[in-house]
Amino acid sequence: MMKMKCIILLALASTGLVYAGEGAHSLPVGEGFINSPGVDNSSRPNIIFIMADDHAAHAISSYGSDLIDTPNMDRLAKEGIRFTNCFNVNSICGPSRAALISGKYSYHNGVKFLYDEFDGEQPTFPRMLQGAGYETALIGKWHLVTQPTGFDHYSVLHGQGDFFDPLFLDTGKPWGETHEVKGYLTDIVTDKSIQWLEDRDSDKPFMLMVHHKAPHTPHQYPKKYESLYADTDLPVPDNFRAAYGQRGTALAESRGRWSKLDTITHPHFQEQVPEHLKDGTEEYKAWAYQHFFKGYLRLVASLDENVGRLLDYLDRSGLSQDTIVVYTSDNGFFLGDFGMFNKMWMYEESLRLPLMVRYPEHIKPQSVNDDFISILDFAPTFLDYAQAEVPAEYQGRSIRSILEGETPGDWQKEHYYHYFGQHDIPPHYGVRTSGYKLIHFYEDDSWELFDLTNDPREMHNRYDNPEQAPVVVKLKKKLTELRQKYESP
């Protein structure tokens, strides 16, 4: 068995990909790629991408969380690099996954809303890797409606998937035909992933995407985690009771069932809300915070355990030394910050993704990087390591040089975000720089400006402050430039 390098990308949340059955779109080896069929595979790394769903960076102890200890995930930060400014472009499950695999903004990949159908004919990075001679697989959450393409093997969840005894759709069976697997989902996804690694073609480089549903709702966890936090109250964020209007009219006027803890209802809760609690009150919000996030954190604990199981397998199989491990999430998540839960908004907790990368002898251990990284940058990075051609239509850029310690002089210093509106959260787009964030809610033409240097928690909208007028002019110009660059409608 030839020695191969292995990239492991742990991404919380999600893009489910994998394929090899009827209807797949395979690209011939060598066509459109830098490498040829005779390339030395020992010089190309394998790729394992592990993605969680809705895992906030501040629910990881290496990011300073005071809520939970995540020792297995923390191994990546200790033995590799941790990024502090990795951002999404449309923070909701399906659209974020489509952006990940296509390398393009939502209006270019066709998935702007939850349950939009993804066009698998696009040159996604799994298809490109498959055409470059990689064996490709996807295990877990897919959530892009159409049959995965670009995969030699897939075993993906039916829809959102269930935590107990989930239904899977597998390669080689008619799309839509499901079968039940007994057990707990997070364990099952890891079991299936390890089994595929055992059964793969050891003569080919591989790319495996491990897509967990956790810690997405509903918060159903294994019995062994029932006692976690049972006898303790979670610490409350310092801005938990801030008035929504401080951030602007959009948050204050949204109905909030999908983002405000004082009006949260089923299906977000597993427990019955006590009858004496009335929504819209501080008492309701305090109760909701404790019960909702204890369930969320129990799912994170189970997820961390399974990350450890996969890392241990790499150690046993002798792959760790030549393995890149990347951990990120499909979305950020509010953990009671500003009295909120969920994602979608362009505020920091939702916008920001965790990203940790380990690659022994190539990445300096315990590194911390503040460069602006986009979810669009993952696809070209994987192709760069595979010595494959990056499609011209990709809107991201490889971060390989940054991983190896050198940031290009012309690296991006601004980030553009566009959410198209769903779940009572109004459509908006905006620009984030190192010091400011400008958001435009375009249905009612309202604006929000945050001074991130002096107000990092985004507590006060400064858009109407006369002293900020020059900043607003500058940021609006930059926003126009970015919208033109990315051909935003």
Neighbour-count burial for 364-395, b at 16+ CB within 10 Å, e otherwise? eeeeebebbbbbbbbbbbbbbbbbbbbbeebb
Q: Which two tokens stand for residue 187?
A: 């364990």
Question: What are the CB-based long-range contacts (under 8 Å, 24+) for 110-114?
Answer: 111/144, 112/420, 113/420, 113/422, 114/422
Residue 196, classed as helix, strand or coil, is: helix
Q: What is the rounded CA–CA span in Å between residue 441 and residue 5?
A: 46
Local confidence band at 44 (pLDDT 50, 70, 90 cut-offs): confident
- pLDDT at position 268: 87
d(CA 138, CA 147): 12
Tell whether the model's pLDDT for residue 472 goes beyond 80.
yes
Peptide bond just before 354 cis, omega within 30 deg:
no
Complete domains list, the chain, with CATH: 5-220+293-407 (3.40.720.10), 417-485 (3.30.1120.10)
Total residue length of the chain: 489
pLDDT, tens digit, 9 for 90 and up, residues 287-338? 999 999 999 999 999 999 999 999 999 999 988 888 788 899 999 999 999 9
Share of the chain above pLDDT 90, in %: 83
DSSP string, 313-324: HHHHHT-GGGEE
- Rounded-to-integer distance, Cα 184 and Cα 166, Å: 8
Q: Name the token pair of 404.
A: 């190896």
pLDDT tens-digit map of 47-95? 889 899 999 999 999 999 999 999 999 999 999 999 999 999 999 999 9
Mode of pairing for the β-strands spanning 167-170 and 153-157: antiparallel
pTM of the model: 0.93
Residues 389-442 have pLDDT tens digits of 999 999 999 999 999 999 999 999 999 999 999 999 999 999 999 999 999 999
Task: Give CA separation, 72 vs 132, 312, 434, in Å.
Answer: 32, 10, 30
Q: Over 237-289, what HEC string results?
A: CCCCCCCHHHCCHHHHHCCCCCCECCCCCCCCCCCCCCCCCCCCCHHHHHHHH
CB 419 within 8 A of CB 91: yes
pLDDT score at 78: 96
Q: For residue 190, which phi and psi values (nearest 5 degrees)?
A: -70, -45
> Which CA distances in Å does 393 have to 2, 110, 390, 480?
34, 14, 9, 20
Distance CA 155, CA 99 (A): 21
- Placement of tokens 């393995």 in the chain: 323
Map residue 453 onto helix, strand or coil. coil
| DSSP annotation string for 31-76 | TTSSS-TT--GGGSEEEEEEEESS--GGGSGGGT-SS---HHHHHH
